[in-house]
Amino acid sequence: MASDKITRTSREQPQVISSKDYRYDSFNNGKTFEGKKKRLPAMGWNSWNAFGSGNTEALTKAMADRFIELELDKAGYEYLVLDDGCYNSERVDGKLTNEPLKFPSGFKALADYIHAKGLKFGMYNDIGTNLCAGSAVGTCGFEDVDAVSYTDWDIDFLKVDNCYYLWDNATFSNGENARYTYAPRIKAVKLVSRDGSEYTYNAVTDGVITGRHARIEESYVTNIGTFDGTNIGNTPVGDQSSELTFDLKNVTEGSYKLYVTYATGKEAGVGEWLQVAVSDGSMSDFFFDNLVESTKGPEDFKENYVCDIAVKGGDTVLRLMNHRRQENTLCSYAAMYNSLKEADPNKDILLSICEWGKTMPGDWGYKVGDSWRILNDITFQVGRDGDPGRGYWEADGTCSITSQYDKCVIMDEFASLERGWNDPDMMVIGMGDVDETMAKTHFAMWSMMNSPLMLGMDLRKVEKGDYIWNIITNQDIIALNQDELGVQAKRVWSSLADKDADKVYLMDHDRVDILAKPLASGDIAVSFINLSGEDNTNKIEISLDNIVNAIEGKMADPEIFKGAQSYKIKDLWTGEENSLLGENVSVDGLKAHDNVTLRVSPIR
């Protein structure tokens, strides 16, 4: 891939893709980009939930000091990350610089201060032209320059956001950018050979739609593109990107001019960018990947010449599509990833992808990222110095613990030690309206799901021995998240799922879930979670056989577990240990918002 390696994107047009490594067709090959390391989920602290864009050098140093005083480093936390609000509002000579009033000593001096405490230093940027808080210093078109700055500043972690992005209708972006991420509405296609022979296909009667997004509307096919996963409600399970395909097995081998009857737009569902390929089942040849000639609007259909194509004999398929929502975003994150590697090949920098699940990053994020956000923010009511901000157990949209959990819990097959981790955003423990029970369950959820454990409270408000400190330093729960087997828990039962509990996207919180997570030792962690605001007084149980059947393929040694003479159970919150009586793991009811998380160990 070296000759086609992207290290700088353009602000004039979407990236020209010359390597198949950046294509949608490569997303399922399991290959990461050169130099990507396996690593367990990150643990640390991020400034955003605590201080928003009001963070300062003095506050950051105070957090670093408090980090050590609370012995969070001994509990496994290591990263201290500056989020938005730390840069000058404009570039200086094309480079990023520190905001002089808030960060007077500069970022290298701050990194040195944090490193001297044995911690790691993280920063923030954006793949767009601006950061989400507005500063016009996004990495787009400056990835290679910024990578040098970051390595010079000796950072260890980079969170990269998705605001003001030029090639999609992302947050604070032009809504008409949808022109780049959706194909036109299509009514028909026509192939014309050199001798004048024609093959005509109707999109509705002859075409085949792949994926979940596109649909037939009257006499045409629309929504040819990728689902927007920013908000709740759209399942991440299944093929989120659609194509319109036509069987060419009866077409004589040769060259053809391709005419398409289409209508263009600049809105979600109908755009102006079309990709054309011909596939023989094993590989695809691309013939067009660009904007088509615009029509007067989404209802104005015209037949236009698009490109020449070559048809091979046998079972060949014409593919009309637009995977640019995912491909453009991969190119942008890859440009920063590749630039960091080139700036200093020996520098290990964790890349945290923060595009809010918009482009279904579970499909492609593993190629360059160590984690990828799955939804928009967990809270928009961030704090400031003296105000803890607000977090919620349940709320409309993405802004709650349960909203993030509902989606992340069915994304276990996207995550692994080899790929990276689903990120349901920074934790809201310590923020207003999150009580002790909610915080405890929040921490268990994120730990079981192998999500990054990024704290976001003002650490000066935490004391050793208080309930927040006891939760965030619970070594038995943290051990689940940091277990070297590196497997996200699977939901193996839910009171609202008759079957396929690991795949059904549930958003009704009047329910109890059971998660199971295999561990490197051969043990299994089992978490019973009451998402409801009401106590559940019923006995809730599941057999070990059902648990093993659901996760056997991910277990270290399922035969040893199944062949054990008996089992020991440890409650990871109370520390109480007991022998398992019978074949079922159970709890006698659950308080509202509460969890019981157990470690089941085979006795050989």
Q: Which of 37, 84, 126 is nearest to 347 (CA)?
A: 37
pLDDT in the model for residue 447 = 99
Pairing state between β 371-373 and 350-353: parallel
Query: Residue 602 CB: number of other CB atoms within 10 A?
Result: 20
Confidence grade of residue 582 (pLDDT, cut at 50, 70, 90): confident
Evaluate if residue 211 carries a pLDDT over 50: yes
Within 300-425, residue ranges assigned H as helices are: 324-343, 401-408
> Any residues with CB less than 8 A from the CB of 323 and at least 6 apart, and which?
23, 24, 225, 226, 241, 275
CA distance 55 to 472: 22
Q: Enter the DSSP assignment of 245.
A: E
pLDDT higher than 50, residue 285: yes
What is the pLDDT, as a whole number, of residue 2?
42
Cβ atoms of 550 and 490 within 8 Å: the answer is yes
11 closest CA partner among 149, 199, 188, 166 = 166
In this predicted structure, what is the pLDDT of residue 282?
A: 84
**Residue 282 or residue 237, greater confidence:** 237
Contact 14, 231 (CB under 8 A): no
Exposed / middle / buried, residue 561 (Cβ in 10 Å: 0-12, 13-18, 19+): buried
Locus of tokens 């992340």? 408
Cα gap 604→602, rounded to integer Å: 6
Binned at pLDDT 50, 70 and 90, residue 1 comes out as very low
| Measured distance CA(174)–CA(331) in Å, rounded | 20
- Stretch 146-157: mean pLDDT: 98
pLDDT over 60 (residue 180): yes
3 state DSSP class of 226: strand
Structure tokens at 63: 């957090």
Report phi then psi at 181, rounded to 5: -115, 0
pLDDT tens by residue, 496-512: 999 999 999 999 999 99
Distance CA 167, CA 173 (A): 9
Q: What DSSP element (H or E) covers 471?
A: helix 467-472
Per-residue pLDDT tens for 521-549? 999 999 999 999 999 999 999 999 999 99
CA 409 to chain centre: 13
Helix (H, G, I), strand (E, B) or coil at 39: coil
Give residue-wise pLDDT tens across range 334-377.
999 999 999 999 999 999 999 999 999 999 999 999 999 999 99
Find the mean pLDDT for residues 408-434: 98
pLDDT digits (tens, 9 = 90+) for 96-145: 999 999 999 999 999 999 999 999 999 999 999 999 999 999 999 999 99
pLDDT surpassing 80 at residue 201: yes
CB atoms within 10 A of CB 30: 11
Q: Is the pLDDT of residue 267 over 70?
A: yes
Three-state secondary-structure class, residue 164: coil
> pLDDT (tens digit, 9 = 90+) per residue, 379-402?
999 999 999 999 999 999 999 999
According to DSSP, the β-strands at 198-202 and 185-193 are: antiparallel
Is residue 499 packed enough to be buried (19+ CB in 10 Å), middle (13-18) or exposed (0-12)?
exposed
Which pLDDT tens digit goes with each residue over 563-572? Answer: 999 999 999 9
- CB–CB of 456/428 below 8 Å? yes
| Cα 506 from Cα 469, distance rounded (Å) | 31
The H or E element containing residue 201 is strand 198-202
The neighbour count for residue 3, using CB atoms within 10 Å, is: 6
Is pLDDT above 70 for 3? Answer: no
Q: Where are the alpha helices (DSSP H) in 311-461?
A: 324-343, 401-408, 436-448
120-126 and 79-81 beta bridge pairing: parallel
State how far the Cα of 33 lies from the Cα of 440, in Å rounded to an integer. Answer: 37
